[in-house]
């Protein structure tokens, strides 16, 4: 919760999942400029599920390709735990098929790398 100019603004909690430290950091910095609070970071699908259970974030950003367990599987697992989970796929250009599959498995939207700040914020605000 952030007290913002007389109004109480609820910060939405985000769990960032990506195996590249660099991407996690970029995204985190971007989100923290807006009303998002990054509560956790995971490097693969298995960690993502574990942290999801612990932290119960409002939003999860999920990289498509990761070691141990990839984004698609993780989406399915998390949606099994919580049918209301809001997951945004993070994909590189040209991974449309994966994104489509992820959406079919329950992802709510997607953002593309390289990140366009306006797009990222718009997508996360409209989940």
Partner 1 sequence: MSENDGRDPMLDLYILETYNLIEELEEIILESEKEKDYKNSIDTIFRIMHTIKGNSAMMFFDNISHLAHSIEDLFDYLRDNSELNVDYPAITDLILQSIDFIKNQLGKIGNNETSDGNPEELVSDIRKQLEIITVETPQESKESKNQADNEEHHYYVSSVKDCNEILEGELQNRLDIRYEVVIFFKEDCGMENIRAFTVIHRLKNLAYDIIYFPEDIVENNETEKVIRENGFRIIFSSKRDMKEIKKSFKGTAFLSKITINPVSEEESCTKIENIEEVKSSLEVVSYREPQIASKNYSSSSESQGKHNMLNVSVEKLDMLMDLMGELVISEVMVTNNPEIASLNLDSFKKSSTHLRKIIDNLQDVVMSIRMVPLAPTFKKMNRIVRDMSKKLGKEVEIVLLGEDTEVDKNIIEHIGDPLMHIIRNSLDHGIEAPEDRIAAGKNSIGKITLQAENSGGDVNIIIKDDGKGLNREKILMRAKEHGLIDKPEGELTDKEIYSFIFLPGFSTKEQVSEFSGRGVGMDVVLKGIEKVRGKVYVDSTLGKGTTITIKIPLTLAIIDGMTIRVGQSIYTIPIMSIKQSFKVNEKDVFKDIDGNEIIMVRGQCYNILRLHERYNIETEVRDIEKGILVMVENEGKSLCVFADELLGEQQVVVKPLPNYIKKVKGIGGCNLLGDGSISLILDIGGLIP
- Position among 10, 21, 56, 80 found at the interface with partner 1 (CB under 8 A): 21
Query: What is d(CA 29, CA 14) in angstroms, rounded to the nearest whole number?
Result: 12
Which tokens is 74 given?
Answer: 């993780």
Report yes or no: 88 and 112 within 8 Å, Cβ to Cβ. Answer: no
**Range 27-56, binding partner 1 (CB under 8 A):** 29, 33, 43, 47
**Strand-by-strand arrangement of the 12-17 sheet:** 36-42, 12-17, 59-63, 86-92, 109-113
Nearer residue to partner 1 within complex by CB, 23 or 57: 23
Residue 9 engages partner 1 in binding (rule: CB under 8 A): no
Nearer residue to partner 1 within complex by CB, 6 or 114: 114
**Range 65-124, binding partner 1 (CB under 8 A):** 65-67, 92-94, 96-97, 99-101, 103-104, 108-110, 112-115, 117-119, 121-123
Count the site residues for partner 1 by CB under 8 A: 40
Ramachandran bin of 106, using left for φ above 0, alpha for ψ from -120 to 50, beta for the remaining angles? left
């Amino acid at each position: 919760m952030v007290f913002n100019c007389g109004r109480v603004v609820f910060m939405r909690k985000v769990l960032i999942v990506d195996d590249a430290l660099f991407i996690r950091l970029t995204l985190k910095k971007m989100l923290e400029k807006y009303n998002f609070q990054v509560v956790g970071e995971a490097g693969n699908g298995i960690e993502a599920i574990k942290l999801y259970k612990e932290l119960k974030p409002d939003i999860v950003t999920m990289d498509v390709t990761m070691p141990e367990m990839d984004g698609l599987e993780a989406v399915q697992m998390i949606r099994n735990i919580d049918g209301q989970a809001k997951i945004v796929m993070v994909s590189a250009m040209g991974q449309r098929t994966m994104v489509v599959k992820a959406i079919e498995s329950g992802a709510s939207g997607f953002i593309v790398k390289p990140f366009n700040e306006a797009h990222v914020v718009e997508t996360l605000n409209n989940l």
